[in-house]
Structure 1
Amino acid sequence: MFRNYNQINITQGTGPESIAFDCKGEGPYVGVSDGRILKWEGSKFGWKEFAVPFSFRIRKLCDGSTDPNLEPICGRPLGLKFHIETCHLYIADAYYGFLVVGPYGGVAEKLATSAEGVPFKFPNGLDIDTKTEMVYFTDSSTVIQRRNVDSLLRSLDQTGRLLKYNPYTKEVSVMYKGLVFPNGVALSKNNSFLLVAESTRMRI
């Protein structure tokens, strides 16, 4: 048990999903409900905007939003992971697909929106193999979006996938199909195996 801890409140949006630290150990970085990725700059400066999913994001509409119905417009970054060497941040955005942004942040670059001809519907968790540089991420459903997550849980939808992005070929391949709400992804310390959380089935 951790006896000493600090609570860092977020006032710009709600619902931080993944937490990431960059290759220098700075952060944490979190994705929030209004589509932005924020970086903690310490108690003096607080949370600062680090990245957004696309350049034409409407700030007046999106900044601070907690409305799930605005997520398809504003974005919703879920999985976050920094490449340990390049310090690029890979992002699984529930609506804008698989993205990456450089070490200084800004507007993310879209890397992929589909795999083997099937569009992403709910990109979610991700992790990076530090040896091969392959990026593994989940697409929780090919039918139901994140804003309708309650329907996804009730439906027992089995269209979830585990995907792999190859940074050398720029291609996304499907590793597993037929998963029920695949969520978080984690590689072992030596990258010898990969864990996937299947939320609806309550199993790893």
Structure 2
Amino acid sequence: MSRCAGRTPKPGGQPQRLPALRVIATEIQGPEDVVADAEGTLFTAGADGTVWRVALSTSGAAGRAVAVAHTGGRPLGLEPTADGRLLVCDAQRGLLRVDPRDGAVEVLAGEAGGEPLRFCSNVAAAADGTLYFSVSSRRYGLEDWMGDILEHTGTGQLWRLRPGGEPEVLLDGLHFANGVALAEDESFVVVAETGAYRLRRLWLSGARSGRCDSLARDLPGFPDNISRGPDGVFWVALAGPREPGVDLLHRMPPQVRRAVWHGVKPFRPRPRRTVGVVALRSDGSRACALRRARSPYRMVTSVCRSGAFLIMGSVLESGLAVCALDA
């Protein structure tokens, strides 16, 4: 199990305005993650456990959604595989494999270390079948995700599952481990630390193999799911802008952070209407950053690129948000 070290320069520059959003497939409630397969077909999953295939129109104005499977839990992160199936992180059932052709659901890892695998968040698949996946928190479940952010528990983990093997922890002590993605050459794996505004990078090969550092730090918002575009660029959804009050709280003693969470828990503050995404190259430099204030579509938890469009999902909203991506 590796420890992270090292510092990476902050990604600089002012964000551009995120283009106008169109919402499609509004029958899907809470599509936390959205991914595109090699043919550009979109897949997402709703709060009721249904996995959907969405065909985006050439104009991006509409998308026909077809239910293809049901996990029996609460699906979060998705990953298409080369054989036409989907890997699904289910917050209640663990790491699953779903076949959208017949709806079959297989549990790949329902427990780890003798305990149920809860709050499995996101997954990436290597060419040799090795899977890398995150567990956001070992203290709180999905329904109380805000408690983990406020308490700053540092109980998130990055796991690895080799073909025919057992799950093993690669990184521990992460502040709300979230999105996971592999470099185009699979030389490293990236995991988002939502509660720390950074992306951790674990080197898998080469002279730095086994070392952990930051691909990006001090991001302008809470990083959530990560997808890798066809050009190798990492697209990162920012679920909300930085909150100075949260930054201050994280410097307080644990008992103060716990008291604040229990104080706000009955009220569940609504997320801000500022949404954003950032695109990073494999060296951590910023390719672009997009931001929109007063957005009608709140809390963007995922983003992927498909052709000339960016498609976004939200754990709260109905439907997927689409915008044209200016070259």
**Structure 2-normalised TM-score?**
0.51
Q: Per-residue displacement from partner, 1:44-90 (whole Å, max 9, x unpaired)?
A: 88111011113xxxxxxxxxxxxxxxxxxxx2211111112x12211
Report matched runs for 1:1-204 at 5 Å: 7-23=22-38, 25-42=39-56, 46-54=64-72, 75-84=73-82, 86-130=83-127, 132-167=128-163, 169-204=164-199
Work out which of the two has the higher radius of gyration on C-alpha atoms and give 1 or 2: 2
Task: From the superposition, tell whether residues 89 and 150 of structure 1 become closer, same or farther in structure 2 (CA, over 3 Å).
Answer: same
Q: Per-residue displacement from partner, 1:11-70 (whole Å, max 9, x unpaired)?
A: 2232222222234x142111122211111135588111011113xxxxxxxxxxxxxxxx
- Work out the CA distance in 2 between the residues paired with 1:193 and 1:45: 34
Give the length in aligned residue pairs: 180
Larger RCO (alpha carbons 8 Å, 6+ apart): 2
Task: Confirm or deny: 8 A CA contact 1:119 1:142 kept in the other structure.
Answer: no
- Work out the CA distance in 2 between the residues paired with 1:50 and 1:137: 23
Task: From the superposition, tell whether residues 3 and 120 of structure 1 become closer, same or farther in structure 2 (CA, over 3 Å).
Answer: closer
Letter in 2 for 1:183: N
Q: Per-residue displacement from partner, 1:127-170 (whole Å, max 9, x unpaired)?
A: 1112x221101001122100111111111112211011122x14
Q: Which moved more, 1:190-199 or 1:1-10?
A: 1-10
Task: From the superposition, tell whether residues 48 and 153 of structure 1 become closer, same or farther in structure 2 (CA, over 3 Å).
Answer: same
Can you give the 5+ residue segments of structure 1 that lack an aligned partner in the other structure?
55-74
**Structure 1-normalised TM-score?**
0.79
Higher strand share: 2
| C-alpha RMSD over aligned residues | 2.3
Letter in 1 for 2:119: F
Task: Confirm or deny: 8 A CA contact 1:129 1:135 kept in the other structure.
Answer: yes
- Work out the CA distance in 2 between the residues paired with 1:152 and 1:105: 37
Q: Per-residue displacement from partner, 1:158-203 (whole Å, max 9, x unpaired)?
A: 2211011122x14211111111101111111100011111000111
- Work out the CA distance in 2 between the residues paired with 1:3 and 1:198: 23
Letter in 2 for 1:39: R
Deviation >6 Å, runs of 4+: 1-6
